[in-house]
Structure 1
Amino acid sequence: MKLFIVFTVVCWGLVLSQHGRKCYDGYKLYEVTPKTEDQAKCLETCRNDPSYDFWRQPEELDTSAIVMVAPDTQDLFENLLANNNIGHKVIIDNIESKIQEEYAQQNISSRADRGVVTFTEYMRFDEINEYLETLERNYPNIVKIEELGESYEGRDLLAVRISSGGSDKPIIFIDGGIHGREWIAPATALYIINQLVENPENDDLYEEVDWVIIPCLNPDGYEYSHTHCYGVDANKNFDVDWGESDNNTDPCNQMYQGPSPFSEKETQALRDYLLANKRQIELYISLHSHGPSILYPGVSSGSVPKNNEELYSLAECFKNEMNTKYTVGPGANVLYSTSGQSDNYAMNVANIELAYTILLPGDGNNGFDPSTANILSIVQETWEGVKIFEEHIVER
């Protein structure tokens, strides 16, 4: 079943504790382009304000931010932009109207072909799990489902292991959907699974390595929009430099780090798996949107890690397989300083030497999630880059 733009609007990947449908009548979507350092700093002051929902951050000067602004804050926002000579335009005048258009276009009945993957729609969480279970039944010699635990609302957190058998092989570990509104991430994880399992041309890719893939790490955030503000940005909830960069203690803020490290069942489940299998996991990848960027951890000061040369070189190899132009580098240098992230935890606590966050391409006004017409081209392109990682681990 297709998801709607309402989820894009309200699900900042939060671990949700409330359900509901919020009305976005009068909310506007702005494209804002800072051209000077002072303008960029001015825009940065809005980032932690819950009145502003940043769908895209500017990666550098002369690149655009996409910001949703509530009606009662729009005059203040526009005055701020005007007073600082920051160029902007309104790209959606009324978010609610856009939501209603999509409701009218979508068929909200369940798909009949349960257990079958699709890349022309965004699959719902139960459909994703049914597909994984179908693969395990149909390919028992290479596919095994591993249960990592449950989400806050009791949904099963499932990983699929793809292996030719044997023990002590290196693992490539991939997760998607830690931010619930980034639907293209689970879709990409599913395409990787699909190509490894159902395309015989790729049999050699799991001969010397095992793949462990979690398509949707935050099913509650993926499934539901909400009207109440309680929730945690799961990718700021890991116990590595927790709270140092953002230090956001407001539960109504889209970047809320949680009351303590690993306060959420989802991040606990990922932590436990990484630590239990850290001797075999040689590569960790977390799929996100939207970039396009391929990032790796720095350290607290923003300097590069000790194996920066290998991390950068491998990321460049991935980039060279893309038709889309990707940005490469440490996350703190390419985007902004962050804390409590999964890739940083994987590298600096679980001692997994190669760890990346891949920000998949966005799609104009659709923000974090490309239109359904563009899903297939993005996941196919990404798959070509992912194969490079397997080559590197085998050579390593």
Structure 2
Amino acid sequence: MFLRFGICLILFIFLNQHVTASYKSYDGYKILEVPFKHKIAKRYVQNIDKHFGFMPDFLGENWKKEEAHFFIEKDQVAKVGDALKFSNISFNLRDVDSKMFTFSRKRRDLANSPISITDINTRYLSYDEQIQFLNNLASQFPNLVKLQNLGNSYEGRPITAVRLGDDGTNKPIVWIDAGIHAREWISYNAALYFIWTILNDPNYRQLLQNVQVNVVPNTNPDGYEYSRTTERMWRKTRSRFTSSKCAGTDGNRNYPFFWGNEGVSHSTCSEIYCGTRAASEPEVLALTNAIMREERRIKAYVSLHSYGQEILYPWGHTKNSHPSDVQDLIRVGKMMATAIQNLHGTQYNVMNSGDGLYPAAGASDDWAKSRGIKYSFTMELSPSDDYTGFILPEDRIFQVNRETFQALTTLVRVVSQEFANRTTTSTTRISAKFQRTRGFGSGK
């Protein structure tokens, strides 16, 4: 017994040392903060790639402080500082705490105990642990849970949808997916927490009598695992290109609605590379095919991202353009934000996704709305600052899980009230003239 424990301990230490040794170091990287309250500064930020000669990794905008935040590689720090000074643009280059990029990578793969809700609320799971958790729930609730393989990722990992309350009827559907951007770890946990809680809490389970909820907790399993084992700030998929040294596509620039237009890059090394064509990524193709099979019943779509504390609604591919029912989107978005604020006082901003700093074409929420899905949103989860950003500490997971749950169940109730017990009819799709595919970007 002692010998076996000793061997496991040595193996555990070896694995941790191996991962630590090969894990990308972010020593010397900086967070660039640029206030854009003044028009000149805002125009500069919106054309920052032209001033720098490259597009830096855009983390997002702090809507409270009106600041744009970027992640700057150590080799580009001096160049960025010189360019900003030359143009008399106020800025701050903040050091990155490289220790933050290692503490949430704990390897617990040797544990034999089943994954529990405590794990979901206190740590970030591997892809295999996520699947184990879903399989356990399917066994516990065979009448309420159906697991469906939508397709495989580029590296062959199944993309699993969890169908909650699927009883074969024509109930309206709420679609929730998470993790298209690999580094946004809290989104995966929030989706898993939603699944567990709506099944285990009788106060919410009754919603499944009127509404079916389809949840895809991990839409980018390859990128997620790569962010866990090799490069914490990895954002894209892991597809390969024979003519490039760089891998991956931004899945949230790859959807077939205004693909390749604004807020994208056609450089394979860019964080916002939109791919070789619309839906070129097997992950995106699997999701779009699955949604189109049931789009007449899907009445709400939410994509979980981080970070920024925002509830975003279409259109995001351009500025100053909104769907005809935009007031309905704003109304329901504010209901979701209020539900979050009522829990812990956390404030979410409800805003159009294209009217911020940058439009972002080829995003999933725009595409979902273009398919006639009534309520389509992107949620940028907590935090709102770059001091933690994508590296949300594990002791804050539970709060964000609960807040996200409140917002999502609010949306499910809206769908239940507005669409349950109605005869399913054909949805009106956006005019074909909007389906053009032309070829700088938001955190979406």
- Structure 2 equivalent of residue 385 of structure 1: 407
Change (3 A) 1:164 1:291: same
Out of 320, 337, 354, the residue aligned to residue 302 of structure 1 is 320
Amino acid corresponding to residue 30 of structure 1 in structure 2:
L
Change (3 A) 1:165 1:97: closer
Distance (whole Å) between structure 2 residues aligned to residue 70 and residue 390 of structure 1: 41
Distance (whole Å) between structure 1 residues aligned to residue 157 and residue 381 of structure 2: 26
Out of 311, 321, 330, the residue aligned to residue 312 of structure 1 is 330
- Structure 2 equivalent of residue 368 of structure 1: 390
Out of 376, 384, 402, the residue aligned to residue 355 of structure 1 is 376
1:52 maps onto 2:56 in alignment: yes
Distance (whole Å) between structure 1 residues aligned to residue 333 and residue 375 of structure 2: 10
Give yes or no for contact 1:239–1:340 (8 Å, CA) kept in 2. Answer: yes
What is the CA distance between 1:241 and its match in structure 2? 0.4
- Structure 1 equivalent of residue 114 of structure 2: 114
1:63 maps onto 2:66 in alignment: yes
What is the CA distance between 1:243 and its match in structure 2? 0.9
Distance (whole Å) between structure 1 residues aligned to residue 204 and residue 284 of structure 2: 31
5+ residue gaps in structure 2? 1-11, 232-244, 419-444
What is the CA distance between 1:29 and its match in structure 2? 2.4
CA deviation vs aligned residue, 1:305-355 (integer Å, no higher than 9, x gap) = 01111111111111111222211122101452110011111111x221211
Which TM-score applies when normalising by structure 1?
A: 0.87
Distance (whole Å) between structure 1 residues aligned to residue 99 and residue 168 of structure 2: 55
- Structure 2 equivalent of residue 237 of structure 1: 254
Percent identity of equivalent pairs: 30
Give yes or no for contact 1:175–1:215 (8 Å, CA) kept in 2. Answer: yes
Distance (whole Å) between structure 2 residues aligned to residue 231 and residue 164 of structure 1: 34
Change (3 A) 1:77 1:388: same
CA deviation vs aligned residue, 1:352-377 (integer Å, no higher than 9, x gap) = 12111111112542222411111111
Q: How many pairs were matched up?
A: 374
Distance (whole Å) between structure 1 residues aligned to residue 381 and residue 250 of structure 2: 19
Change (3 A) 1:354 1:340: same
Give yes or no for contact 2:35–2:67 (8 Å, CA) kept in 1. Answer: yes
Amino acid corresponding to residue 272 of structure 2 in structure 1:
M
Change (3 A) 1:361 1:231: same
Distance (whole Å) between structure 2 residues aligned to residue 354 and residue 98 of structure 1: 36
Distance (whole Å) between structure 2 residues aligned to residue 166 and residue 242 of structure 1: 34
Give yes or no for contact 1:296–1:311 (8 Å, CA) kept in 2. Answer: yes
- Structure 2 equivalent of residue 246 of structure 1: 263
More moved, 70-79 vs 41-50: 41-50
What is the CA distance between 1:391 and its match in structure 2? 1.7
Higher-Rg member (1/2): 2
Distance (whole Å) between structure 2 residues aligned to residue 31 and residue 91 of structure 1: 8
CA deviation vs aligned residue, 1:226-263 (integer Å, no higher than 9, x gap) = 67622100000011001111341100000000010011
Out of 143, 146, 150, the residue aligned to residue 144 of structure 1 is 146
Q: CA RMSD in A?
A: 2.4
- Structure 2 equivalent of residue 212 of structure 1: 214
Which TM-score applies when normalising by structure 2?
A: 0.78
Give yes or no for contact 2:146–2:166 (8 Å, CA) kept in 1. Answer: no
Distance (whole Å) between structure 2 residues aligned to residue 47 and residue 163 of structure 1: 47
Give yes or no for contact 1:91–1:365 (8 Å, CA) kept in 2. Answer: no
- Structure 2 equivalent of residue 286 of structure 1: 303
Out of 178, 186, 194, the residue aligned to residue 188 of structure 2 is 186
More moved, 25-34 vs 205-214: 25-34
CA deviation vs aligned residue, 1:274-317 (integer Å, no higher than 9, x gap) = 11001111111101111211111126563110111111111111
- Structure 2 equivalent of residue 10 of structure 1: none
Out of 57, 70, 83, the residue aligned to residue 86 of structure 2 is 83
Change (3 A) 1:213 1:144: same
More moved, 48-57 vs 77-86: 48-57
5+ residue gaps in structure 1? 8-19
Out of 275, 279, 284, the residue aligned to residue 262 of structure 1 is 279
Distance (whole Å) between structure 1 residues aligned to residue 73 and residue 176 of structure 2: 35
Q: Secondary structure at the match of 1:87?
A: coil
Give yes or no for contact 1:164–1:207 (8 Å, CA) kept in 2. Answer: no
Give yes or no for contact 2:264–2:272 (8 Å, CA) kept in 1. Answer: no
Amino acid corresponding to residue 267 of structure 2 in structure 1:
D
Out of 84, 92, 95, the residue aligned to residue 92 of structure 1 is 95
Structure 1 runs, 4 residues or longer, greater than 6 Å off: none
Give yes or no for contact 2:152–2:158 (8 Å, CA) kept in 1. Answer: yes
